[in-house]
Amino acid sequence: MGQPLVQTIHRDPALFWWILLPITVVMVLTGILRHYAMILLQTAPKKQELPKIRQQRALVRGINLRGNANVLSPASFQARKAYMVSAFQEGKFLAEPDARGKPRPNPMSDPAAMEGMMGMMKGNMAMMIPQTLIMGWINAFFSGFVITPCSLAISRHLANRCCPTVKLPFPLTPQFKSMLQSGVGTRDLDVRWVSSLSWYFLTLFGLQPVYNFILGSNNSANNVTQQMAMANPGAGLMGPEQDPDKLFLSEAENLEVLEHRWILDGIEDRLIAKMAA
């Protein structure tokens, strides 16, 4: 092989106006629409009941005591520790003291968990339905396109399938072929040509910055990643699947074994040394 041929495909300039631009505009608009649809579909987060709040914050208080115990004088730390440990062990802060020791109910039967799942379903639907529609639309309208006289022999062949609509202004390695020319079954076509279906995929995954610009950074226009992250809500501190009683007991144990060091011990000398320096 000598010099690689510079491929030129004489495209109809109207391709730009009738394919590239519509796809892009439609994609941006769907994103915006999806953002507002998501806002409408969102249900306000359910209010926690007072005992639940108390249970969670009591645990945080225990964690705080463990983490920052060194500000307390030994006497006051011991008093607090004794109180917290016994309260934790007795389950004094539990939201449902009766449910203590019983196995946790199946999360599927919990109405609160179901609600969360419904919310997720709604989000997924808002993502899937427009995608399916647009993909069908692109396939229906833009793939059977015949471009006017093409100089290359291959163009005859690809014109039936999916037409290259845009040429990227920079060279790319052949690995990008599957990404940029989906639906075009040619080996030799320069990777820089992009088919309309591929353009759709590029915009689908690459429009996040545009949405950020239009809708603000906190948008739900293109929330593929958000959906992934949301799959496991509240798995952190007191998720529905964790037994609060167990958490309290382990926290009590943590407090028991904590070695207490008072930060104010010898502060006078420390301060004098600091000021002298």
Partner 1 sequence: MAHANLLTPPARIPPQTALQLSQKAALVLSSAPTSSLPWPLSLLFSRETPETWAIHENLLLAALRTGDDAAARQILDRLTTRFGAYNERMIALKGVYDEALAKDDKDLEKVFNDYEKVLKDDPTNISVRKRRIAVLKSLGRTADAITALTVLVENSPTDAEAWAELSELYASTGAWGQAIFCLEEVLLMMPNAWSAHAQVATLHYLSSSASVPALTLALRHFARAVELNDSYLRGYYGLKLVSQKLLPLLSESSGSKRNADEDDVAPPKLQSVKKLEEIATAKLGEIVRKYSASKKSQSGYYEAEIIAARELLDRDGRSER
| Closest CB 14 distance from partner 1, rounded Å | 29
Q: How far apart are CA 263 and CA 271, in angstroms?
A: 12
Q: How far apart are CA 23 and CA 26, in angstroms?
A: 5
Interface positions with partner 1 (CB under 8 A):
36, 47-50, 53-54, 57-58, 60-61, 64-65, 68-76, 214, 263-264, 267-272, 274-275
- Joined together, the tokens standing for residue 217 give 């950074």
Q: Which residue number, 14 or 39, has a Cβ lying nearer to partner 1?
A: 39
Q: How far apart are CA 176 and CA 165, in angstroms?
A: 16
Task: Give the 3-state secondary structure of residue 42.
Answer: coil
- Joined together, the tokens standing for residue 228 give 């992934």
Q: Which residue number, 121 or 271, has a Cβ lying nearer to partner 1?
A: 271
- Joined together, the tokens standing for residue 143 give 């793939």
| Closest CB 163 distance from partner 1, rounded Å | 33
Question: How many Å from the N-terminal Cα to the C-terminal Cα in the chain?
Answer: 77
| Closest CB 18 distance from partner 1, rounded Å | 26
Q: Which residue number, 62 or 164, has a Cβ lying nearer to partner 1?
A: 62
Residue at token pair 């079954």: 185
Q: Which residue number, 50 or 153, has a Cβ lying nearer to partner 1?
A: 50
Q: Which residue number, 66 or 167, has a Cβ lying nearer to partner 1?
A: 66
Q: How far apart are CA 194 and CA 9, in angstroms?
A: 12
| Closest CB 275 distance from partner 1, rounded Å | 5
CA atoms within 13 A on the CB side of 233: 14
Q: Which residue number, 49 or 253, has a Cβ lying nearer to partner 1?
A: 49
| Closest CB 216 distance from partner 1, rounded Å | 8
Q: How far apart are CA 96 and CA 92, in angstroms?
A: 10
| Closest CB 189 distance from partner 1, rounded Å | 40
